[in-house]
Structure 1
Amino acid sequence: MDYPERYELIFQTSGAADDTVVVRMTDRSGAGGYPVYEDETGIVRAEISDRGEVRMLASGGHQAPRIPLLVRPLSDSAPGGH
């Protein structure tokens, strides 16, 4: 199955604007067998299924990852794509 190379994760914040993080596919799979995606820092990690279901993964001790409000696949032809 082909999975998108990148996703945009949108988190609700207490401020005026939501927080958006772009994650890229890694060579790892999560417990559900789906690809693991992470941001450029490696701090935000998520396993994303072929139906867009998200399981956030802790990248360090004492971390309590938040669930995003919205998950959007990004096209490689989108501005800023590599």
Structure 2
Amino acid sequence: MGQGDTDTAYELIFGRAGDTNGAAADDSGEDVVVVRRTERKGPGGHPVYADDTGIVQAEISDRGEVRMLASGGHQQPAAGVEARPVA
């Protein structure tokens, strides 16, 4: 199994401070949202992870590649998001 198949939570890291994507900024200036694995699979066949609200959703591959998924009609999923496994 790859990393994306076994991890149950990730921190999604969005851009730098000053970006407006609705995530909370941590002390490093990064916008970080914690997502947990759901029972769903994304369009690429990898697990879908979501935050507690269900608004932030991402498919994360076994190589740590992130594909943001729209959870509403007027969302434009962010690009260049990184995933960091939660210890």
The verdict on a shared fold, with TM-score over 0.5 as the criterion, is yes
Query: Where is the helix percentage greater, Structure 1 or Structure 2?
Result: 2
* Number of aligned residue pairs: 75
Coordinate RMSD, CA, aligned: 1.7
TM-score by length of 1: 0.81
Alignment partner, residue 42 of structure 2: 30
Does the CA contact (< 8 Å) of 1:9 and 1:68 recur in 2? no
Q: Which runs of 5+ in 2 are unaligned?
A: 19-24
Alignment partner, residue 39 of structure 1: 51
TM-score by length of 2: 0.77
Matches for 1:36-75 after TM superposition, within 5 Å: 36-75=48-87
Name the % identity: 64
Alignment partner of 1:64: what SS? coil
- CA-to-aligned-CA distance 1:31-61 (integer Å, 9 cap, x gap): 1110000000000000000000111000000
Report how far residue 12 of structure 1 moved. 1.4
CA distance in 2, matches of 1:27, 1:68: 24
